[in-house]
Amino acid sequence: MRRRKVIAVVVLVLGVLLLAGAMADHSFASPRNAECQSGLGQLGQIIDTTVAHDCGLVGALEAATGWLILLGVAALGAGVYLARAAYSRSASSSSDRTPPGGRSPSRTI
């Protein structure tokens, strides 16, 4: 049971990290991508090929933002599902246990 809970927590943390990475990626890559798409950026890409290469990398990084968001949301959903399954299973198995001594409690008069 403990292993399932640990896996659920790890998947939830992974989802949060992917979403945080997507936000950081977007805040970094979006302004640079806008510069590359501007008229001056297009002119700079014609003049210097390293600028064109860097703009291509920034464009790819900006495109990866959507995938990071998709994977983060999927990981959060899977983590919530796994956590609910693990905790509901542990709650039902703890109520089914017999007390020490092997007998079920009964009322004696």
Res 73: pLDDT:
94
For the whole prediction, is pTM greater than 0.85? no
Token readout for 47 is 């003049």
**What was the pLDDT predicted at 104?**
57
Tens digits of residue pLDDT in 21-69: 999 988 888 888 888 889 988 888 888 888 888 888 998 888 889 899 9
Find, among 19, 2, 12, the residue nearest to 79 by Cα. 12
pLDDT digits (tens, 9 = 90+) for 57-101: 998 888 889 899 999 999 999 999 998 988 787 666 655 555 555
